[in-house]
Every structure is written in structure tokens, then in C-alpha cells.
């Protein structure tokens, strides 16, 4: 029973701490530069963090790590990359019999160390890079397409479609996972178009800066101008969104209207009372006829009018009838 419990405890301990103990026991190199975020099997790496055989190293989308192995081989791991230190077999204190890495994706720079060229190999999804005392950049795309650009020395690339030899500085070969492979030619803008990534080779274009020996390679193979072109190219201006405005206050409710009243008929205009026409002025008497006109009795009309009708009666009484008795006879 005690033996069984001891075996279980040992298994749990090995599962939890075995990899860390192995890494600690067998470091094969260390980090010399860390920018942004670079992580290993045990967590984030910092400068002088050891790296170990079988350790997976990953960088963030803007991360950068530089590493040196015990034989002096130098490796730069660019942004968004993943690589595994696959095999590391010591030869002596200054060299190795075998150093192999597997590049899953991303961008890298390699400078060989003190070991024999045959000791190195870099495995990619599209093929294997053979090192001949060399410095080169290489890129592995998300779909496995691989590009290698020679910076010094010589290198080879072998895949399902055969092998290609790179002998001139800036020679480039592009290979796909399916076996297609280009002949060596000088890297240029069209290479980046083929890779569908203008930043596929950031150490040559200047999108990422290296330091030390890794950054001491002066050639850019003509790609440094690409970054300048992108910077000089006018960027489309974003239309500024207008600041949100406070909602307009609701209009005040309409004032209450007085109850509807039937329209009143207009008051009739009062006409001023009719004023009687002024009496006609009597005609002025005609003085000429008043003094000379007489009736046939020889009397003035005024006198007759003055005496009135009674005057005739008096005359009738005195004389009786007209023209009769003892009265004065009329002179007809």
C-alpha cells in the first residue's frame, strides 16, 4: 500500500515539476533581448532567461526575442512567431553535434555558430533549410508557405519538389506546403506580394529592429524603402463622428384654449337719427306786385288777406248782397 502511494506521489511530482526540472537541468541557450512579450514553457521570458531543449518559444503580435545558443548560434524570433528547439546534442563545450529547430510560423533570422554546417537544420512546413556557415532570414506563413533570403554564406532548401541552392546575397526561394518551389532570384517587392504580407521580412524592411550581431547585417536587399513608402503614403482620413448632442427638450405643451364660442354677429351700426329737413324758407314777397297788383275790386291782396274772410262778411252785412240794396253798387 505504501509503495503504491509512493509511486502515485512520484508520478504527480514528475508530471508537475518534471519539465521544469529538465529545463533547469539542461539549458541550451539564453535570451539576450526581449521586447514586448515573449514566452516559453514556464511563462514569460526576460533577458538572460534560459531556454531548453524541446521548449516552445512564442512571441506576441508585436514581440521580439533574441537568443544565443551555447555554440554561439544566434536566433531572432520576430512578431507573431512560434518555434520549438527540437534537438540539441552536445559535441563539446564549444560546439554541438546536432541543433535542430522547428519553425511553425512567423519570421526569423539565423546566424550560425561554431559547429559544423552539417550539425544545423531548420524544419518548416514546406521543407528543410540546410545551413552552410550562413546568415539568412526566413518566413513561414499561416498556410505553411516558406521564404528564405540569403544574407551571407550559402544555404539550401529541400522540399517535396526538390532542392534549391542559394549562393548569392539576397537570393530568395519561395516554397509551398504542396511542393511548389521557385528558382533562386533576388528578393523584391513581388516576393512580399507572393507572400501576401508586406511585413513578412521585417528585419530587412525595417519594421522591426535587431541589436548586436543580429542587427549588424547592413544589407536590406532593397526592402528598406518599402517601409518608407508606407510611411510617406497618405493615409485615408477618418471622418470624425460628430459628438453626440443632447436630445432637444420637448416643446412645452400648448396653452389651454378657451372654450369654443359661437362667433357673435357683429353689432349693427347705429345710424344717427334722421334729422328733419329744415323748413323751406318762404319766398320773399315780390314787392313790385305787392304794391301795384290789385284784384278786380280794386283792393290789394294784402288788405284782403289782412282783413281775412270776415271782411267780406262785413261788406256783405252792410250791403246785403253783392251789388244789391242801398249799398254801393259794384262797378262791373
How far is 46 from 37, CA to CA, in rounded Å?
9
3-state secondary structure 198-224: CCCCHHHHCCCCCCCCCCCCCCCCCCH
pLDDT score of 279: 55
How far is 295 from 304, CA to CA, in rounded Å?
10
Largest CA distance in the chain: 209
Domain count, the chain: 1
Question: 136, 168 in Cβ contact below 8 A?
Answer: no
Average pLDDT over residues 177-196: 95
- Domain assignment present for residue 251? The answer is no
- Domain assignment present for residue 184? The answer is yes
Residue 289 has pLDDT above 50, yes or no: no
Cell of 154: 550559402
pLDDT score of 180: 95
Structural domain containing residue 39:
20-215
Residues 3-19: pLDDT tens digits? 444 444 444 444 444 44
- Domain assignment present for residue 316? The answer is no
Task: Kindly give, in sequence order, each residue whose CB lies less than 8 Å from that of residue 12, ignoring residues fewer than 6 positions away.
Answer: none
Residue 142 has pLDDT above 50, yes or no: yes
Chain-centre distance of CA 175, in angstroms?
39
Residues 157-177: pLDDT tens digits? 999 989 999 999 999 999 999
- Domain assignment present for residue 170? The answer is yes
Cell of 195: 507572400
- Domain assignment present for residue 109? The answer is yes
Average pLDDT over residues 268-290: 52
Q: What is the CATH number of the domain that holds 29?
A: 2.60.120.1440
Residues 62-71: pLDDT tens digits? 999 999 999 9
| Strands 120-124 and 96-111, sheet pairing | parallel
Amino acid at each position: 500500500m505504501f509503495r503504491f502511494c509512493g509511486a502515485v506521489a512520484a508520478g504527480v511530482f514528475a508530471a508537475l515539476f518534471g519539465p521544469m526540472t529538465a529545463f533547469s537541468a539542461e539549458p541550451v541557450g539564453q535570451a539576450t533581448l526581449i521586447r514586448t512579450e515573449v514566452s516559453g514553457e514556464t511563462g514569460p521570458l526576460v533577458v538572460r532567461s534560459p531556454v531548453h531543449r524541446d521548449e516552445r518559444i512564442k512571441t506576441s503580435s508585436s514581440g521580439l526575442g533574441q537568443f544565443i545558443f551555447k555554440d554561439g548560434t544566434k536566433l531572432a524570433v520576430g512578431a507573431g512567431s512560434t518555434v520549438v528547439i527540437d534537438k540539441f546534442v552536445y559535441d563539446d563545450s564549444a560546439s554541438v553535434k546536432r541543433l535542430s529547430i522547428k519553425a511553425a510560423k512567423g519570421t526569423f533570422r539565423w546566424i550560425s555558430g561554431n559547429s559544423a554546417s552539417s550539425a544545423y537544420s531548420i524544419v518548416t512546413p514546406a521543407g528543410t533549410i540546410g545551413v552552410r556557415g550562413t546568415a539568412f532570414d526566413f518566413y513561414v506563413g499561416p498556410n505553411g508557405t516558406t521564404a528564405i533570403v540569403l544574407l551571407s554564406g550559402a544555404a539550401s532548401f529541400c522540399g517535396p519538389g526538390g532542392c534549391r541552392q542559394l549562393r548569392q546575397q539576397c537570393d530568395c526561394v519561395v516554397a509551398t506546403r504542396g511542393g511548389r518551389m521557385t528558382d533562386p532570384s533576388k528578393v523584391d517587392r513581388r516576393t512580399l506580394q507572393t507572400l501576401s504580407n508586406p511585413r513578412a521580412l521585417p528585419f530587412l524592411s525595417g519594421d522591426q529592429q535587431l541589436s548586436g550581431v543580429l542587427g549588424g547585417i547592413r544589407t536590406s536587399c532593397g526592402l528598406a524603402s518599402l517601409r518608407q513608402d508606407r510611411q510617406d503614403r497618405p493615409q485615408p482620413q477618418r471622418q470624425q463622428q460628430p459628438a453626440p448632442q443632447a436630445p432637444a427638450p420637448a416643446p412645452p405643451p400648448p396653452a389651454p384654449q378657451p372654450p369654443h364660442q359661437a362667433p357673435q354677429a357683429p353689432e349693427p351700426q347705429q345710424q344717427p337719427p334722421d334729422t328733419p329737413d329744415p323748413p323751406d324758407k318762404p319766398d320773399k314777397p315780390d314787392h313790385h306786385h305787392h304794391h301795384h297788383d290789385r284784384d278786380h275790386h280794386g283792393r290789394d291782396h294784402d288788405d284782403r288777406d289782412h282783413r281775412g274772410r270776415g271782411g267780406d262778411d262785413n261788406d256783405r252785412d252792410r250791403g246785403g248782397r253783392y251789388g244789391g240794396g242801398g249799398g254801393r253798387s259794384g262797378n262791373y
